Amino acid sequence: MRAQGHIVTLEITSGQTYRGKLLEAEDNMNVQLKDITVTARDGRVSHLDQVYIRGSHVRFFIVPDMLRNAPMFRSRNVRGRGVGMARGRATVSRARASGRGGR
C-alpha cells in the first residue's frame, strides 16, 4: 500500500479510532501502526507505541489527501448492461435464449 510510512486513521468495529504511522498493511487489511493515539468511543485518549490490528476488525481507513490520485483508488471501468447485470426471471430466460441460438 502506498500509504506505508504516512499517518493514517482507522476506525475499528468497536468504535475506537487509531491514528498513527502505518508500518505495514496486508491484503486482508491486517495493519501494523506505530506511535498511535487511540480515541475510545467515550472520548478518552491514550497512546500506544505499536499495535497490530486484525483486518476483520477494521471498519474504515482515512488516508492522506496526497494519495487521492493513487492508482489503487481509481474507479475501474464499469461495463455496460449485459446479460447477468440484472436479477430475475427475465434475465435468466434471455441468457438461456441466447445460449440456444436465439430460439
Tell me what the pLDDT averaged over the chain comes to: 80
d(CA 62, CA 6): 11
Q: Does domain 1-74 sit in CATH 2.30.30.100?
A: yes
Question: What 3-state DSSP class applies to 36?
Answer: strand
Supply the DSSP symbol for 93. H
Residues 6+ apart with CB under 8 A from 7: 19, 20, 21, 22, 64
pLDDT at residue 62, as a whole number: 86
d(CA 48, CA 7): 14
Q: What is the residue extent of each domain of the chain?
A: 1-74
Q: Where residue 97 falls among pLDDT bands split at 50, 70, 90?
A: confident
User: Which tens digit of pLDDT belongs to each residue from 22-63?
Assistant: 999 888 989 999 999 999 999 999 999 999 999 999 998 888
